Amino acid sequence: MRVFQGGKRLPLRSRITGTGSYAPENVLTNFDLEKKVDTSDEWITERTGIKERRIARDTETTSDLCLEASKKALQAAHLKPGEIELIIVATMSGDMPMPSTASLLQKKLHAKNAAAFDLNAACSGFLYGLSVADNFIKGGTFRKILLVGAEVMSKFIDWQDRSTCVLFGDGAGAVILEKTTGQRGILSTRLFSDGNLWDFICLPGGGSQYPPSSKTLKNKLHFIKMKGNETFKIAVRTLEKLVVDTLRKNNIKLSELAMLIPHQANLRIIKATAERLNLPMSKVAVNLERYGNTSSASIPIALDEVVRKGRIKKNDYVLLEAFGAGLTWASALIRW
């Protein structure tokens, strides 16, 4: 769909008009983990780049985190909850299987005019949600959308498993997308998946295959399982190709890219991807050391931070990319 102005055809796009983020107050450092499991600050830092992560209170839910991030995004976009027409929450750690966390957020936010649903693509969830929201706006279905990536990963962690418990943290990031015309906004989104590698990162218990039972509890099927080394190798190769292909399809040179905002999973993956692209780390957003891997929340949290610090300027090209369970991977190219 295109809009005419002054005899010229202007593309209809969706544009991020507000960002927000929230992380629980409780900080769990590597030194705290040394007291829980056989690990060390040196081991964790060397292999992951993580120094600390935020942990939700026992009574704090994913929708609670969504609410705080959403309030900030709405304020930044100068909108009221009643103006939002659709709420999408990307999460794999929702409040409950039914209803959706997005519906619970709608209630807490008093966004009475909004439709609401959840989306689960694990660590790629925010970018999958961004693609869905972008297409809704370009298709004319909605004009103002609230998209949130949020996780309370700490409640799905085996704290005796040092290969996973050191990695994850809790948090939420939100964006407001609105209809716009012109050259600024989301230029493209790209989504991929390979279900043959589903067991590289998974949480087996709690679904129809392994419904909750004494057996699934005993076998710890309700905790995240991960094949770290295998995932690392595939992620680096896949993300390099993803960045190159996304820029090429949009006729953007790597030198024109102002900021790369990757999923914050592992500093070695982030640095290896940047090195293979010959992209200076000054153009890469990194906050992994303070939050750990917050899955679908990591990109919107990092985006909110760089926006509020003024690291992104008007008309800058910004590339978001993620890789996660599914396996899934995705990218989004934005002209800010």
Best CA proximity match to 166, nearest among 54, 299, 44? 44
Contact between 83 and 52 (Cβ < 8 Å): no
Nearest to 62 by CA among 16, 28, 22: 22
CB within 8 A of 82, min separation 6: which ones?
110, 111, 112, 113
Q: Is 293 a catalytic residue?
A: yes
257-262 and 317-324 strand pairing: parallel
Does residue 100 contact residue 118 with C-beta atoms inside 8 Å? yes
Residue 78 a catalytic site member: no
Q: Catalytic: 202?
A: no
DSSP letter at 111 equals -
In the numeric block, which tokens belong to residue 47?
């292999």
CB 46 within 8 A of CB 198: no
Catalytic residue among 30, 66, 120, 263: 263
Calpha distance 148→38 (Å, rounded)? 35
> Tokens in use for 133?
């929201």
**Residue of 30, 66, 120, 123 marked catalytic:** 123
3-state secondary structure 170-236: EEEEEEEEEEEECCCEEEEEEEEECHHHHHHEECCCCCCCCCCCHHHHHCCCCCCEECHHHHHHHHH
Distance spanning both ends of the chain, measured CA to CA: 21
Taking Cα atoms as reference points, which of 288, 336, 234 lies closest to residue 48?
288
Residue closest to 210 by CA, chosen among 199, 226, 200: 199
Residue entry with tokens 């544009």:
15
- The residues that are catalytic are 123, 263, 293
